[in-house]
Amino acid sequence: MTGKARLSRRRLLAYTASGLALSSLGGCDDTPPPGRYTQADIDLLDNQRSLEAQQRGKGPYGDQRYEGYRGLATLPWFEIDNTGRLICIDDSLPGIVDVHAHLGMSILFKPELDLQAVTPRVRHLLDCDGADPPCELDLDVYINGNFSPEALKQNEKVLTTQGLWGNEVVRSHTIPNLIAEMDTMRVQHSFVLPIKLGLPFGDNISEQWRSAISRADAADRITTGCSVHPRDDYRVEELRLHAAKGARLVKLHPTVQKFYPDDSSLNPLYEEAQRLGMVVFFHGGRAGIEPASSQPFAVPRHYARVLEDFPRLQVILGHAGARDSAAMVDLAVKHQNAWIGIHGQGVSSLEAIINKTGGERLLFGTDWPWYHLGATLAKVLITTDTPERSAVRDAILRNNAVELFPELAERENLG
């Protein structure tokens, strides 16, 4: 294996769409500088996990376990249609905007993944409905807590081969499949987020997705963000090129791309994004299943300086900080340019976030194809099911996203 190929494989193994452990990485070059990662940080994550285990099902919404995604049909807003699919039947909902989804990736080898394919069923990475009996879906824990250790191992395999040569799971993560699921869940528009791995011979997922969406004539339903690598020499120029092609959102992933968000070497990138009016979407906080060596990068205080130093830069903090949501939401509340992607939080946690923010700057996100769109939708509907919360519901599902991306409304007016 050549040095280049070895490097690419290492980086590839580091890939995750939402922080899944592909544990072969690590090593001494990841030792955090003093103060970056303390025993208190480590303890906080451990405490979050044990508290969650103790309190699951005992929050304001009680027990929230369902028999797979299709089990959500026991809730008043969903049904199973005559083809056996979960559908959302509440026609009072606004046209939902999902700011956090992905498509399948094929990076290294041909043939490229066919993003135009229609397959009989979406194989979500948490494939609850693919098992018989379906896996238990608990909406009162951080969502990756629904993976069994065996399922996590299996996904490690899936994601490794996803980049290398594709597989039947990833082959279902296509544009028509996403749109079909959006239609069943009343999602009007989705942003898909590529992640640049910084492979030595170039990974051009942003470009691949942009052209696939245009070939599918799906720009009215799906917008792709772009991604650059924080250590790429041409990152600023690349960002400019993406912006020139219409990109409005750039995804940066501290644990996959292994950087501290407040590293001063990123200042020119943030400055340029601010100048271009681009939104930065950070993977936020520790998911708890990434390699331990990557966890220091995502501690909430490392995001603070970006929010302070670039006050006109709009920043989405993905997963509401994941298992670090308490600190991440406190940080977001203090900064008018911070938006909170709610994907992943359980209903008790989402309740706390709504109480802290009043619903302001909260954004709906699903992390498809990791999970069915209905999982996050159900959580929003459960936590906003009172007349007093109806404005909060509309804000989370749509209005906040339109405030951040006004072109969504303009496009509809034209259409």
φ, ψ dihedrals at 368, nearest 5°: -55, 145
Site size for Zn ion (CB under 5 A): 3
Helices within 14-113 (DSSP H only):
39-55
Comparing CB distances to Zn ion, the nearer of 102 and 361 is 102
Going by the DSSP 8-state scheme, the letter that residue 125 receives in this structure is S
The total number of residues shown for the chain amounts to 415
CB 112 to Zn ion: min, Å: 21
Q: Does residue 98 touch Zn ion according to CB under 5 A?
A: no
Given the complex with Zn ion, which of 140 and 367 has the nearer CB atom?
367
Q: In the bound complex, what is the minimum distance in angstroms from residue 159's beta carbon to Zn ion?
A: 12
Instruction: Tell me the per-residue interface mask from 17 to 36 with Zn ion, x by CB under 5 A, - otherwise.
Output: xx------------------
Distance, CA of 384 to CA of 115 (rounded, Å): 35
| Residue 275 CB partners (closer than 8 Å, separation 6+) | none
Stretch that binds Zn ion, among 12-20, 25-33, 68-76, 109-117 (CB under 5 A): 12-20
Q: How far is the CB of 313 from Zn ion (least distance, A)?
A: 20
CB of residue 114 vs Zn ion: minimum separation in angstroms? 22
Find how far residue 195's CA is from the centre of its chain.
11
Contact pick of 71, 367, 392, 401 for Zn ion (by CB under 5 A): 367
Position 376, amino acid: T
Calculate Rg over the CA atoms of the chain: 20
**Nearer to Zn ion (CB atom), residue 75 or residue 322:** 322
**Binding span for Zn ion by CB under 5 A among 11-19, 130-138, 210-218, 400-408:** 11-19
Q: How far from the centroid of its chain's Cα atoms is residue 344's Cα?
A: 8
Q: Are the beta carbons of 334 and 303 closer than 8 angstroms?
A: no
By beta-carbon proximity to Zn ion, the closer residue of 141 and 392 is 141
CB-nearer residue toward Zn ion: 177 or 274: 177
Q: Which of positions 122-151 make contact with Zn ion (CB under 5 A)?
A: none
Q: What is the DSSP string of 223-276?
A: EE-EE--TT-TTHHHHHHHHHHTT--EEEE-HHHHT--TT-GGGHHHHHHHHHH
- The smaller minimum CB distance to Zn ion, of residues 105 and 243, is found at 105
Segment contacting Zn ion by CB under 5 A, of 13-21, 28-36, 223-231, 384-392: 13-21
Smallest distance, Å, CB 100 to Zn ion? 6
Least distance between Zn ion and beta carbon 257 (Å): 13
Neighbours of 29 (CB within 10 A): 7
CB of 340 to Zn ion, least distance (A): 15
| Closest to 142 in 3D by CA, of 55, 71, 68 | 55
Determine the residue type at 251. Answer: K
Interface residues with Zn ion (CB under 5 A) are 17-18, 367
